[in-house]
């Protein structure tokens, strides 16, 4: 049963991040997600300092706040003439440094240690249970399910609008689609995803889950819907394979999941190249009489 | 208060800040700031692997390992961007997290081994300048000096490479070799800095001083001097503050000092918000008169 919950949590992380990652890749905002995953630490620490508790709800609020703050600051610096990569770099490193400093100053002896936030410890997930509606499930599973529902609702409500705002933002704005609202709404859902996953795979490796599966599926899919499906599959596969490899070699589960994400990407890229080359060779042969 | 060792560490981090300020400026102008971030994260597997292979915490080995994996990560990013339809940002993010994940895997293996518990490799994540020994500092001095000297030596060529690559190629400069040298120097800066600042925040030392300097000037030479100065000041002030109170990592404080300089510049510099606001009001007044 314990193993089941660990694998199930990993699976949920893979699927949730896989869904959230698709628009991240398409909107070219991967590095903003990376920035948010770092600054979520700042939000969580602020939430802890203000409420003096490790309540999941306030953590979610703090993380969402930090995520929006990051997106907003990057946008602000970028629009005042600082190139985007530097704007991202400045914002996330300084907020992250502030988060680390606040932890060592105010929360040094609590459960909130930096390494836990960064790398997570999925193996401890099953021990921390919440009972709701007569169902006793690990806290992390509840959080992930909640975020998954939020993400899917957001997508179902705004799928068309997001698509248009992603591929033709100028036209989208001109026909009255709230492009700015969508941008920040999406950033909020990314922050939610990050904080829900941080307990299990850690704030940094959640980025691997956000970017990796979606990037891999971007290589092979031709429509957005295809991309969603593949991305979810890759995310789920990476977490399950990663878990068993980690168990096999007795090492960090989160680290192994990220490594698997990388492997899946490389395998897909190379096999895609080989297929492409074969197809070209075939066409070449057919054209030669 | 100012014991002999602290003085050494202070001058070490200052030199590191200067070196990072200089190479950071070049990578900033090439819009490669976040590649530096990926390269810094990618140093982690190299450190852990070097420790696993050699079994000892000799800094030269660890630095060599870190350098190899950092350079490999930069190469991977370029490879992905040129061989697939992936955009640069996704490639950087992917490489960064995967390398870091591999690093965490190796680090867990190291921590489990009997030697590993005392190895202090975890300090590389956030950096601990105060624990640096004389020998560590010697390496820092040597490589920072090399970085600064090579940058000054190649200043003209890199300037041309950044602002007019076509012309540079036309007059027969070895573009690829120059680019590679720049990448190597950036990796070297990162490797030099990780012990003091840590892999996660090392990129800040490359990005923030350069971004702050850019707010004050448009001239490359002035920008380099300013960026080096800001890096040096951040290094020395941050180390000093973290030395006063025990238990503080050096990295975050150095970064926060640099960030403070950036945000002050953001408001009061010639290109900053306050002077922009003033100009706006002035324009409005002129509009009223005319």
Chain A, window 93-122: residues with a beta carbon less than 8 angstroms from a chain B beta carbon: 93-94, 96-98, 100-101, 104, 108, 114-115, 118-119
CB-nearest partner of A104 from B97, B210, B249: B249
Q: Give the pLDDT confidence score for residue B212 in this predicted structure.
A: 93
| CA–CA distance, B21 with B1 (Å, rounded to integer) | 28
Q: Which residues of A touch B107 (CB under 8 A)?
A: 252, 255
| Domain assignment present for A9 | yes
pLDDT of residue B230: 95
Q: A236 lies in a domain?
A: no
Residue A177 at interface with chain B, using a CB cutoff of 8 Å: no
Q: How many CB atoms lie within 10 A of CB B118?
A: 8
Other CB atoms within a 10 A radius of the CB of residue A286 amount to 8
For B97, which of A82, A252, A258 is closest by C-beta distance? Answer: A258
Pairs of residues, one from chain A and one from chain B, whose beta carbons lie less than 8 Å apart: 185
pLDDT (tens digit, 9 = 90+) per residue, A160-183?
Answer: 888 888 888 888 888 888 888 888
Residue that has been written with the tokens 């040094």 in this structure = A108
Among B81, B105, B110, B242, pick the best mutation site for testing chain A contact (most A Cβ within 10 A): B105
> Could B101 and A261 be called an inter-chain contact, meaning their C-beta atoms sit closer than 8 Å?
yes
Among chain B residues, the shortest Cα distance to A38 is held by B200
pLDDT at B277: 85
CA B238 to chain centre: 15
Pick the CATH number of B4-203 from 3.40.50.2000, 1.10.10.410, 1.20.58.1880, 1.10.3470.10: 1.10.3470.10
B204 contacts on A by Cβ (under 8 Å): 89-90, 93-94, 97
Query: In the structure, what pLDDT confidence band is assigned to residue B17 with cuts at 50, 70 and 90?
Result: very high
Q: For every residue of chain A, which 3-state class applies, written as one string?
A: CHHHHHHHHHHHHHHHHHHHHHHHHHCCCHHHHHHHHHHHHHHHHHHHHHHCCCCHHHHHHHHHHHHHHHHHHHHHHHHCCCCHHHHHHHHHHHHHHHHHHHHHHHCCCCCCCHHHHHHCCHHHHHHCEEEECCEEEEHHHHHHHHHHHHHHHHHHHHHHHHHHHHHCHHHHHHCCCCHHHHHHHHHHHHHHHHHHHHHHHCCCHHHHHHHHHHHHHHHHCCCHHHHHHHHHHHHHHHHHHHHHHHHHHCCCHHHHHHHHHHHHHHHHHHHHHHHHHHHHHHHHHHHCC
- Quick one: average pLDDT of B177-192? 89
Confidence check on the interface: ipTM exceeds 0.85, yes or no = yes
Average pLDDT value for residue range A238-263: 88
- Report the pLDDT value the prediction gives residue B213, as an integer from 0 to 100: 92
**Is residue B225 scored above 90 in pLDDT?**
yes
How many residues can be counted in chain A?
A: 289
Give phi and psi for A217, each to the nearest 5: -75, -25
What would the mean pLDDT of B41-69 be, rounded to a whole number? 86
* Alpha carbon distance A73, B225 (integer Å): 27
Q: Which range of residues forms the domain containing residue A174? A: 2-204
Do residue B101 and residue A208 have CB atoms under 8 angstroms apart? yes
- pLDDT for the residue A144: 85
**Between chains, do B28 and A86 touch, taking CB under 8 Å as contact?**
yes
What pLDDT is stored for residue A65 in this prediction?
87
Distance in Å, alpha carbon of B172 to nearest chain A alpha carbon = 30
Q: How confident is the model at residue B260 (pLDDT cuts 50, 70, 90)?
A: very high
For residue B1, what pLDDT is reported? 45
Would you state the pLDDT for residue A173?
86
Confidence of residue B116 (pLDDT cuts 50, 70, 90): low
Chain B residue with minimal CA distance to A119?
Answer: B104
Q: What is d(CA B235, CA A250) in angstroms, rounded to the nearest whole number?
A: 39
Mean pLDDT computed over every residue of chain B: 85
Distance between alpha carbon A123 and the CA centroid of its chain, in Å?
20
The answer to whether position A21 is within a domain reads yes
Among residues B148, B124, B169, the alpha carbon closest in space to that of B26 is found at: B148
Are A208 and B94 in contact (CB < 8 Å)? yes
Q: How many domains does chain A have?
A: 1
Mean pLDDT to the nearest integer, B31-44: 87
Question: Does the structure show a pLDDT above 90 at B226?
Answer: yes
Instruction: Tell me whether residue A249 is in a domain.
Output: no
B-proximal residues of A, 132-171, CB under 8 Å: none
Task: Answer whether residue A247 is part of any domain.
Answer: no
Mean pLDDT of A30-55: 84
pLDDT digits (tens, 9 = 90+) for A227-244: 999 999 999 999 899 989
Model pTM? 0.87
Q: Is residue A95 part of a domain?
A: yes
Cβ of B247 within 8 Å of Cβ of A250? The answer is no
Residue A136 backbone dihedrals phi, psi, to 5 degrees: -100, 105
Q: Kindly state whether A221 is in contact with chain B, defined as any CB-CB distance less than 8 angstroms.
A: no
Q: What is the dihedral of CA A269, A270, A274, A280, to 10 degrees?
A: 40
Look at B91-105, B176-190, B233-247 and tell me which has the smallest mean pLDDT. Answer: B233-247
Residue of A nearest to B31 (CA): A85
Percent of chain A with pLDDT over 90: 14
Residue of A nearest to B256 (CA): A94
Domain of residue A153, CATH code: 1.10.3470.10
Q: Chain B residues with CB inside 8 Å of A262's CB?
A: 94, 98-99, 101-102
- The neighbouring-strand residues paired with A45 are none
pLDDT of B67-109, one tens digit each? 999 999 999 998 988 888 888 888 998 999 899 889 888 888 8
Domain ranges of chain B: 4-203
Coil, helix or strand at residue B199: coil
Q: Does some domain include residue A8?
A: yes
3-state secondary structure of B219: coil
Q: pLDDT digits over B118-160, tens only?
A: 556 667 777 776 667 777 788 888 889 999 999 989 988 888 8
Give residue A120's pLDDT: 67
The pLDDT assigned to A113 comes to 58
Average pLDDT, chain A: 84
Q: How far is B119 from chain A (nearest CA, A)?
A: 17
Chain B contacts of A38, Cβ < 8 Å? 200
* CB neighbourhood size of A145 (10 A): 14
Q: Of A3 and B227, which is predicted with more confidence?
A: B227
Task: Say what the pLDDT of residue A108 is.
Answer: 58
Identify whether A29 is part of a domain: yes
Q: Does the structure show a pLDDT above 70 at A111? A: no
Q: Which residues of A touch B244 (CB under 8 A)?
A: none
Q: Report the residue of B40, B98, B241 to disrupt the A interface, i.e. the one with the largest count of A CBs within 10 Å.
A: B98
- pLDDT at position B228: 94
Average pLDDT over residues A55-59: 75
Of B210, B208, B213, give the one whose Cα is nearest residue B258: B208
DSSP one-letter code for B56: S
Q: How far is A54 from chain B (nearest CA, A)?
A: 23
Quote the percentage of chain A above a pLDDT of 70: 87
């Amino acid at each position: 049963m314990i193993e089941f919950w660990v694998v199930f949590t990993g699976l949920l992380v893979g699927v949730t991040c896989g869904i959230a990652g698709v628009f991240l890749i398409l909107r070219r905002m991967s590095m903003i997600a990376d920035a948010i995953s770092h600054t979520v630490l700042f939000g969580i620490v602020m939430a802890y300092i203000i409420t003096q508790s490790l309540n999941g709800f306030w953590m979610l609020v703090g993380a969402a706040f930090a995520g929006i703050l990051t997106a907003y600051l990057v946008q602000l610096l970028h629009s005042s003439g600082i190139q985007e990569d530097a704007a991202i770099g400045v914002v996330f490193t300084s907020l992250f440094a502030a988060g680390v400093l606040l932890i060592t100053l105010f929360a040094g002896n609590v459960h909130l240690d930096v390494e836990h936030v960064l790398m997570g410890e999925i193996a401890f997930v099953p021990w921390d249970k919440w009972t709701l509606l007569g169902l006793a499930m690990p806290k992390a599973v509840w959080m992930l399910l909640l975020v998954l529902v939020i993400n899917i609702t957001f997508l179902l409500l705004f799928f068309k609008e997001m698509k248009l705002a992603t591929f033709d933002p100028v036209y989208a704005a001109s026909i009255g689609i709230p492009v700015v609202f969508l941008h920040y709404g999406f950033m909020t859902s990314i922050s939610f995803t990050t904080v829900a996953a941080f307990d299990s795979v850690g704030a940094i490796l959640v980025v691997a889950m956000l970017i990796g599966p979606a990037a891999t599926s971007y290589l092979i899919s031709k429509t957005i819907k295809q991309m969603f499906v593949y991305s979810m599959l890759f995310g789920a596969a990476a977490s399950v394979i990663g878990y068993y490899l980690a168990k096999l070699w007795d090492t960090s589960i989160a680290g192994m999941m990220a490594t698997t994400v990388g492997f899946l990407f490389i395998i897909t890229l190379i096999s895609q190249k080989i297929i492409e080359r074969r197809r070209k060779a075939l066409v070449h042969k057919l054209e030669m009489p | 208060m100012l014991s002999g060792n602290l003085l050494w560490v202070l001058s070490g981090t200052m030199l590191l800040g200067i070196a990072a300020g200089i190479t950071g400026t070049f990578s900033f102008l090439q819009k490669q700031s976040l590649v530096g971030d990926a390269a810094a994260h990618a140093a982690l597997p190299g450190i852990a692997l070097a420790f696993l292979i050699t079994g000892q915490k000799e800094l030269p080995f660890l630095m060599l390992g870190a350098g190899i994996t950092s350079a490999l990560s930069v190469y991977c990013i370029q490879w992905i961007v040129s061989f697939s339809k992936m955009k640069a940002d996704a490639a950087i993010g992917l490489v960064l997290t995967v390398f870091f994940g591999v690093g965490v895997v190796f680090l867990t293996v190291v921590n489990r081994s009997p030697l590993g518990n005392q190895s202090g490799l975890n300090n590389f994540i956030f950096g601990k300048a105060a624990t640096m020994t004389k020998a560590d500092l010697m390496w820092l001095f040597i490589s920072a000096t090399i970085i600064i000297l090579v940058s000054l030596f190649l200043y003209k060529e890199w300037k041309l490479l950044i602002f007019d690559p076509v012309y540079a190629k036309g007059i027969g400069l070895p573009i690829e070799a120059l680019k590679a040298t720049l990448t190597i120097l950036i990796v070297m800066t990162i490797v030099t800095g990780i012990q003091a600042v840590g892999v996660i925040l090392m990129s800040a030392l490359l990005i923030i001083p350069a971004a702050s300097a850019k707010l004050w000037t448009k001239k490359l030479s002035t920008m380099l001097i300013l960026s080096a100065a800001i890096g040096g000041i951040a290094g020395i002030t941050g180390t000093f503050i973290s030395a006063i109170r025990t238990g503080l990592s050096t990295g975050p404080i150095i970064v926060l000092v640099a960030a403070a300089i950036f945000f002050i510049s953001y408001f009061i510099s010639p290109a900053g918000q306050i002077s922009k606001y003033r100009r706006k009001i002035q324009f409005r007044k002129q509009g009223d008169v005319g």
